[in-house]
Copies of this chain bind each other. A is one copy, B any other.
Amino acid sequence: MRIAILLYDDMAALDAIGPFEVFRFGKDTEVVFTGKKTGEVRAGGNLGLVVDRPLAEVPSADVVLVPGGTGQVELMDDPEVHEWLREVDRTSSWTTSVCTGSLLLAAAGLLDGRKATSHWLALEHLSVYGAVPTEQRVVFDGKYVTAAGVSAGIDMALELTDRIAGDVAAQAIQLGIEYDPQPPHDAGSPAKAPADIVARMRENRRSFLRES
């Protein structure tokens, strides 16, 4: 089982690392970190992550994972990334994304007419690229699996492990990473968070987070 994870500047690190920490415990699994060129990228918040293989050296994978972030905007019309996504998708068993990574998949033409999700603040944008915005934490449509914002990649990877390797494997990995969430508030979705926080984030996510 080979899993290719795309890395790029200004991605959200947790989008990639959440699923990575699940997938890496899969049986006979190799995870490859790929990107436009080898070496460091800087994830949002200024964390250096290392691309080990350029896109051209990773023409195929069983699972492809595209994280989101703010840097995804830069790649929305990048022909090299689009061509790679289409190439690797040709033989993948699962083509997946976390957060705004689904916008990249959609921009590359891979989600036409398909149900997909994204970060709640970006969900509606999916329709611009031909996908069908679907308000769920993890959306399966054929081999295309999209997760909601950032932390949703953990749930997506566990769900995918369940389908690929069965419930015992998924449960064992969940126990291994002790994923028994107990956040101090129940504010993880726009339906659950206080309405004024949702409204202010819709107005301006970045400045709101900085000010609060």
Contacts and interface: CB of A to CB of B under 8 A. Distances in A.
Contact of A50 (B40, B119, B162, B201): B40
Interface in A173-202: 173-185, 187-190, 192-194, 197-198, 200-201
A188 B181 CA distance: 8
Interface stretch (A15-23, A79-87, A88-96): A15-23
A148 interface: yes
Contacts of A25: 209-210
A64 B56 CA distance: 39
Nearest to A44: B24
Nearest to A188: B180
A8 interface: no
A12 interface: yes
B150 A172 contact: no
Contacts of A205: 176
Q: How many copies does the complex hold?
A: 2
B183 A158 contact: yes
A21 B137 contact: no
Contact of A208 (B31, B50, B172): B172
Contacts of A203: none
Nearest to A157: B183
A170 interface: yes
28 contacts: A14-B17, A14-B177, A21-B151, A27-B211, A46-B52, A48-B50, A99-B178, A120-B175, A137-B182, A154-B183, A166-B212, A167-B184, A168-B194, A169-B212, A170-B184, A170-B185, A170-B187, A171-B193, A172-B193, A172-B209, A172-B212, A175-B187, A175-B193, A176-B209, A177-B188, A180-B188, A180-B192, A181-B181
Given A151-B180, A159-B183, A175-B197, 20 more contacts: A14-B177, A17-B47, A18-B18, A47-B49, A119-B178, A137-B182, A155-B182, A167-B184, A168-B212, A169-B212, A170-B184, A171-B185, A174-B183, A174-B188, A175-B198, A175-B201, A176-B205, A179-B183, A179-B188, A180-B188
